Amino acid sequence: MSPFGRKFLGGSTSMAISLALALFASPLTAQKTILTVTAGAITFAAPTAADYIAGFIDASTGATFALNAQTGTSRTTTISIRSTSASLGNGKVIGDLQWRRSDLATWNNITLTDAQVEQRILVRGVLNDPWSNTIFFRMKLAWATDAPAAYAGNYQITLSQTVP
């Protein structure tokens, strides 16, 4: 076989594969989802003796998040939370800020790395579209270490999604 024949044969094989991919590959579409967070600022009232006895103080409001599919079909959506502050100030560690989902009773210490809040499969217009939940916050208190002071910290809520 001549060198021209091999080159032509290789070229036609590449062309056939390209044509097959173009004809039979499913189109890729973006999975656009909107994340809306309301009541983002978390504040605590001045702690009372009852709060110190209980060992914590609840934030006055929670942060509500909502997801709404805009394009695409099925995807797995995951909401995560983490602190963007290393401490709450005045010597208070960030781990003394706790969070929980409104539908669960278990409190979690916030960390500097993402922690999964909730994960759901979302199918545009069919399943969990839209879906939402609320994250409640509280701050642990101790008589011996927490002087009456203003404490503050920042947090970040993140949406990640994968296509099954």
Of the listed ranges 107-116, 119-128, 131-140, 143-152, the one predicted with least confidence: 143-152
Confidence label for 45 from pLDDT (cuts 50, 70 and 90): confident
From residue 38, give the alpha-carbon distance in Å to each of 42, 63, 71, 115, 129. 11, 6, 23, 19, 18
**What is the predicted pLDDT for the residue at 29?**
56
For the domain 30-162, what is the CATH code? 2.60.40.1090
Instruction: Read off the tokens for 81.
Output: 């939370």
d(CA 137, CA 102): 10
For residue 11, pLDDT over 90 is answered with no
Cα dihedral: 104, 156, 114, 97 (round 10): -60
Residue 18 has pLDDT above 70, yes or no: no
Indicate the pTM of the whole model: 0.79
Query: Which residue carries 């999964």 as its tokens?
Result: 116
Q: Tell me the sheet residues that pair with 20.
A: none
Q: How far is Cα 133 from Cα 101, in angstroms, rounded to an integer?
A: 7
Q: Which residue has the higher pLDDT, 21 or 56?
A: 56
Per-residue pLDDT averaged across 5-11, rounded?
A: 37
